[in-house]
Amino acid sequence: MYNLSFIRADFPILSRQVYGRPLVYLDNGATTQKPLCVLDAMRDEYLNVNANVHRGVHYLSQQATDLHEAARETVRAFINARSTNEIVFTRGTTEGINLIASSFCEALMQPGDEVIVSEMEHHSNIVPWQLQAARRGIALKVIPINDRGELLLEEMDALFTPRTRLISIAHVSNVLGTVNPIAEIVRRAHSHGVPVLVDGAQSAPHFQVDMQALDCDFFTFSGHKTYGPTGVGVLYGKEEWLDRLPPYQGGGEMIETVAFEKTTFAALPFKFEAGTPDYIATHGLAKALDYLTRLGMNNIERHEQELTNYCTQQLKAIDGMRLFGEAEHKDAVVSFLLRDIHHLDMGTLLDRLGIAVRTGHHCAQPLMTRLKVSGTVRASFGLYNTREEVDALVEGIRRVETMF
């Protein structure tokens, strides 16, 4: 049963006021709010359990290790991976992509080899590859999009060459909301023997992601966008691939034996987890994923889809409204510009009405270039948003319009 007033009571921050007005939080694409069960679990662990994991024989350390490893199992089940060996804890999506860019390029790419990305990527799925291009001479190829904000898959097919080594692609665009057909992209890539890395920052919070159904080779997402704490994220990788990749960072936890002559590395997934992990945050993330599972990812998806459709309809009714991203399959994000009102002005004035939206290039400048704009206003929905909040946004936009 999807009861919004019960759900909102789990997020006390949603009841606060800003500038003396009720907060309308529509910046979930940037980060989500945290339910009490996450905050309580983290506070409780600091208060009653805290000890470093994987190291101590003592009671607290074993208890903390159990919580941390139980969190890994919760993540495995949440994304339907085959094994916890495939679940690497990171700092977030950005670190997951950097890890693969670094280790994959080091072990499996030669100068002149190619990585395919798309025109709608977040900077975190562009810049790590550019760093590798500068360091190792790899080349970047880009899948274009159509005017609705959908990938041109025929053009993708034409990008494959014998030097293609990897596709790295967003599951859902943080600007357009486009849900990319990952299973189909994976099928086509695999027919060329090319693995696929999926940036799941904007998909994992919104609908069920199933590693075995998608059959992607790597998948990464952020805890803080998934109702969990900041500072923790997940990198999924098929065991056969992770086994072939060298460590990303060196240090404690990731070794088996160390001598000055030779060091051997720990088994998966620890080979990729140098240093003390944020074990309080992994526990918090597990509680967040449990919370999502209790609500039901299908229910969350249905609710957010209704909000997105409703918001799109309402905005289209405003004269001079330009929407960005009208893909057939889109999710939880509405990007727009009204007449010639600058996105920053719109965002600032909405803020004064208590409405939190994001403005600017959304860390996707190449996409802005494609859209021929310097930025957009973006409302992004979460599981706790309401139709009344969409109404408040629309009314706010109409008020801003009268000021110009």
Q: How far is the CB of 95 from ligand PMP (least distance, A)?
A: 7
Question: Can residue 196 be called a binding residue for ligand PMP (CB under 6 A)?
Answer: no
How big is the site for ligand PMP, counted in residues (CB under 6 A)? Answer: 13
Q: How far is the CB of 339 from ligand PMP (least distance, A)?
A: 27
Q: Whole-angstrom distance between the N-terminal and C-terminal Cα of the chain?
A: 44
> 4 with 197: CB under 8 angstroms?
no
Residue among 174 and 308 whose Cβ is closer to ligand PMP: 174
Question: Can residue 376 be called a binding residue for ligand PMP (CB under 6 A)?
Answer: no
Selected from 113, 199, 278, 290, the binder of ligand PMP by CB under 6 A is: 199
By CB under 6 A, the residues from 300 to 339 that bind ligand PMP are none
Question: Can residue 102 be called a binding residue for ligand PMP (CB under 6 A)?
Answer: no
Selected from 74, 202, 314, 380, the binder of ligand PMP by CB under 6 A is: 202
Residue among 92 and 237 whose Cβ is closer to ligand PMP: 92
Question: Can residue 98 be called a binding residue for ligand PMP (CB under 6 A)?
Answer: no
Is the Cα torsion angle 344, 350, 353, 355 positive or negative in sign? negative
Question: Can residue 226 be called a binding residue for ligand PMP (CB under 6 A)?
Answer: no
Q: Residue 216 catalytic?
A: no
- Stretch in the footprint of ligand PMP (CB under 6 A) among 65-73, 77-85, 90-98, 142-150: 90-98
Q: How far is the CB of 361 from ligand PMP (least distance, A)?
A: 11
Question: Can residue 380 be called a binding residue for ligand PMP (CB under 6 A)?
Answer: no
Residue among 197 and 295 whose Cβ is closer to ligand PMP: 197
Residue among 102 and 124 whose Cβ is closer to ligand PMP: 124
By CB under 6 A, the residues from 121 to 140 that bind ligand PMP are 122, 124
By CB under 6 A, the residues from 5 to 64 that bind ligand PMP are 29
- Stretch in the footprint of ligand PMP (CB under 6 A) among 47-55, 91-99, 279-287, 333-341: 91-99
> 300 with 331: CB under 8 angstroms?
no
Selected from 156, 170, 245, 300, the binder of ligand PMP by CB under 6 A is: 170
Residue among 42 and 170 whose Cβ is closer to ligand PMP: 170
Residue among 85 and 359 whose Cβ is closer to ligand PMP: 359
CA 209 to each of CA 100, 168, 279, 301: distance values in angstroms, whole numbers, following the listed order: 20, 17, 24, 11
Residues carrying an active site annotation: 363
Instruction: Give the interface with ligand PMP as residue ranges (CB under 6 A).
Output: 29, 92-94, 122, 124, 170, 174, 199, 201-202, 222, 363
